[in-house]
Chain A
Amino acid sequence: MTAPLDQLIRQHWWAAVATVCRLTGDLDAAEDAVQDACVAALERWPTAGVPDNAQGWLIGVARHKAIDRLRRETSRGVKEAAAMREISDSDDVSPLATDPLGLMFLCCHPALDVSARVALTLRSVCGESTAEIAAAFLVPEETMAKRLVRAKAKIREARIPFRIPREAELPERLGAVLRVIYLLFTEGHMASRGEALVRGELCDRAIALARGVAGLLPDEPEAAGLLALLLLTDARRAARTDDLGDLVLLEDQDRSRWDQDMIAEGEAVLEAALRRGRPGRYQLHAAIAACHSTAAIADGTDWRQIALLYGELIRYEPTPVVEANRAVAVAMAEGPAAGLVILDALAHHPQLGRWAQLYIARAELLRRLGRDKEATEAYGSALELEPAMASRSFIARRLRELGEDGGGK
């Protein structure tokens, strides 16, 4: 993709696809048409000049192209066209302020498979090509293409609507939207596949989406909470890996490499959200991230506050993973033995048996207690679960240290 086209798409894709999708009732046609309109703009604008309302121009051109395409298919007797809404050239084509959100709710509808929601959001909202999305998720392009085709077929066949959900459904459906953005960020922040630990482009995409949704729903503190969480977490990106790409633990990170502007923005967004008095999981996660990001040195971290916040978070997210994180915070506030008690209580949880991070956390506490033999075993258990490359190098380093310090214990 050429740079100017890429830039044009980044700038206008979300809003343009959203409006054309609402006007034509067909997501696939909307994407193809906006792509064509962007190409047409690159041909025309250098000589004719950029129109005052560039986005409106793109939407107008894209809509015509979409209608042409859908008419051609209808005349060929394509079945899906029957389910399409009636379109006419006299329709009001002005974009609605709610269009971008409507597209987001469509792509993140709970009736779609979760992995399809993430892929569809990257395609339809972010304008990424199928090849780019396939590369991001390290699956063959053909596999990703099938996943997208299937999701779009379901949208059409089951008639998943393009709409902001009713107020009664909004909290649950917004939760589905925020979850997709969070999953996207998590995959970038701690890649579950591939050799690289951090995949920055996915983090950037997720932050742009969170910023968009929070801006469109200013009365929803959880949307702002997610944006704050992503900003506060991603601010540490540069310090999270060393020159070899290995994981650097929070306590060992060079805090001068943290992005102070992002931290300041994240804190401001979080404070505004918390003032609304409707806490939720993302605001709590963000508050925990803020405890880390605002500590000038690792020893200055308010672990007691973090342990309390995790305790509060369990009310919204009653999962063993949250409890495991609370254990780590308690270990920092009250000593490794107190944390180990909580972790050991979780050790046989069916959901955690295959979670390498639990074994790593346990190994870290055992190491700090000087129980080297058990620590070595726990690192070994973590390795057996084949965690990401960077975690593997981290464990290997710890095992080497234990081997030297422990004198072959």
Chain B
Amino acid sequence: MTGMNGSEMSFRVDLSSRSRNLFHEVWVYRFALWNLVLKDFKIRYRNMSLGVAWSVLNPLVMLGVLILVFSYIRLTSRPHENFAVFLLLGMIPLNFLSMTLPPATNCIIDNAALVKKVIFPRHILPISVVLAQIVHVLIQVGILLIFLLFSRIAPTATWIWVPLIFLVELGVLIGCGMILSAANVYYRDTLYVVQSGLTVLFWFTPVIYPLSIVKLSVEPWLFNVYLLNPLAGIIDSLRRVILYDQPPEVLTLGLSTVVAVLLLGVGWLVFSKKEPYFADKI
């Protein structure tokens, strides 16, 4: 029984302690997190002939359809003269969310063998699913950059906001991922609720219309309710920064940030509370 000293105790995080420092554990398992992200990415594309090209094609198809439809149907004047960039700035954050939440919801079930038989902080499962999608976001940002180049929109110092805005979305997604994956262990319908929710969300998110139209159309209290959708603030902020070279509106992005932090906190607590019983339920 050698080496029972203090320093080694703190290293022994792979132990079954429930009264433990989970943040520290997740940090110690960062290499496992990285390998899970790699796994997710590799197995997704290894059996596809077009591979990563799909994450270029999917948004392009959607963009093409929207531009085609709106060039025939002109309900009002276009929200912005650069309609393609306007649409992309709405679609990228929404795609990030709609590509992430279904696999995040299912991640505990999908990794049932691991959860039942291997000891590691389960928190890294939903986190890895979210992080794995960053590659697709970057590819779509690449498409956006090409459109910006053609539109002769050059980067300015205001663009420093862009990574910060995506950081807010990352918080939203990790928080939601933890809540939904824990819920899905107990209620397998969660995945279907999420899928229906995503369809609804498209219309309650300023993707094909600007946020300003919502503000003009509804009463102030209803507009505030609308803003509780963190994507509203995220998309509006991106458009302000890139299309108008203005910083985000403090209240709008602020509210999104508050929602993100709340989701992260609640997600972490719910997940930590339910995680010891996952193995019993799957």
A and B pair up: no
Instruction: Give residues in B with beta carbon < 8 Å to A.
Output: none
Instruction: Give residues in A with beta carbon < 8 Å to B.
Output: none
